[in-house]
Amino acid sequence: MSEYLKILGSVIPLFFLMSVGAAVRCRGLLNEKADQTLLNLAVHLLLPALILDHVVASEALRHWSNLIWSPLLGFICTAGGVAVAALVARVWRLPHGPQARTFAFTAGIFNYSYIPIPLIDVLYGPSALAVLFLFNLGTETAFWMVGFGTLEGRSFWKEWRRVLTTPVRAIILGVGINLLTACFGLRLDDATLNAAVWGWPVKVLLATIHLIGVCSIPLALLLIGATMADFWEEFRRTRGAKVMGLSVLVRNLVCPVGFVLLAWLLPVSPDLKETLVVQAAMPAGVFSLVLARHHGGHVPVALQVIFATSAAAIITLPLWIHFGMQVIGAK
């Protein structure tokens, strides 16, 4: 019970912070005109800084098992989620076209960054968090090639250029720096930097990157809450009990089973197993709604999927993490 309460205590503040984002939107303290600027700041500066902060000195990313398995499983889990959602849409006969494609995209794609990052940091520490970022390299690839390709009904390979987002470049850069320093027998940790002649300016630079990066998660969760508040009335006007039920089935029940099974069966590192367990519990990502709105998706379906899976996650998220931790033997 104490482990479950620890998980619950780590989850609740994230939903509270999103609620604060919704509240400040309703009070006019955070207006829609600021959203694009703050989103650009989060995606192109704050999140890349957070990634570099945890990746460049991570010992876990010097093991070839993590370097290979993490992005591979990120791609498989994301593409597999879209495939499962597409199959459910076909079996339960959702209307073909934009509705079915939007369901496959939004129910198949999970929130792989802004909710799991603080959870993994609290529950498992910096080593697992570095592995999460490498896992997300595969997730981002599948998001754009498989997920976005499904939404637009286009060939997956036509979307490969979209993969090179700023966070992806930050992951590649951070891993590259990590491996390069490993070739010279160095690590960019405090002990090495304090002992080296060149360590002081590098330590100052890394400290600055750290301070920038810690702003990423609070700002992003506030924006997520504000975005959901924007669409609340539109969501209330939709009628889609079937879609909401199916989305909870896919995102909060079926996909978590698959993730936890992979964590249990595969001979991967404990850090990657822990990453899989946390990602298993995630609801649908809010950013999918933005893409659905501007790229021919069916907005009511996207709203139903996101609100339904997010509401269900308040209950299922800590339960899945607790169950997954028991299965893989994590403490």
Q: Which domain holds residue 77?
A: 2-328
pLDDT digits (tens, 9 = 90+) for 158-182: 666 778 899 999 999 999 999 998 8
- Inter-residue contact 134 to 66 (CB < 8 Å): yes
Which residues touch 162 (CB under 8 Å, ≥6 apart)?
144, 145, 148
φ, ψ of residue 262 to 5 degrees: the values are -60, -40
User: For the chain, percent helix, then strand, then coil, each to nearest 5?
Assistant: 80, 0, 20
pLDDT digits (tens, 9 = 90+) for 191-208: 777 777 677 888 899 999
Q: What CATH number is given to the structural domain containing 138?
A: 1.20.1530
Residue 1: pLDDT above 70? no
Q: Could you give the percent of the chain with pLDDT greater than 90?
A: 71
Number of domains within the chain: 1
DSSP 284: B
Residue 315: pLDDT above 90? yes
- Inter-residue contact 328 to 269 (CB < 8 Å): no
Residue 84: pLDDT above 90? yes
Report the greatest alpha carbon distance in the chain.
Answer: 66
pLDDT digits (tens, 9 = 90+) for 247-302: 999 999 999 999 999 999 999 999 999 999 999 999 998 888 888 888 889 999 99
Residue 103: pLDDT above 90? yes
- Round to whole Å and give the CA distance between 21 and 5: 25
Strand-pair partners of 110: 284
pLDDT digits (tens, 9 = 90+) for 37-83: 999 999 999 999 999 999 998 999 999 999 999 999 999 999 999 99
In angstroms, the Cα distances linking 289 to 22, 26, 231, 300 are 16, 20, 10, 9
Residue 331: pLDDT above 80? no
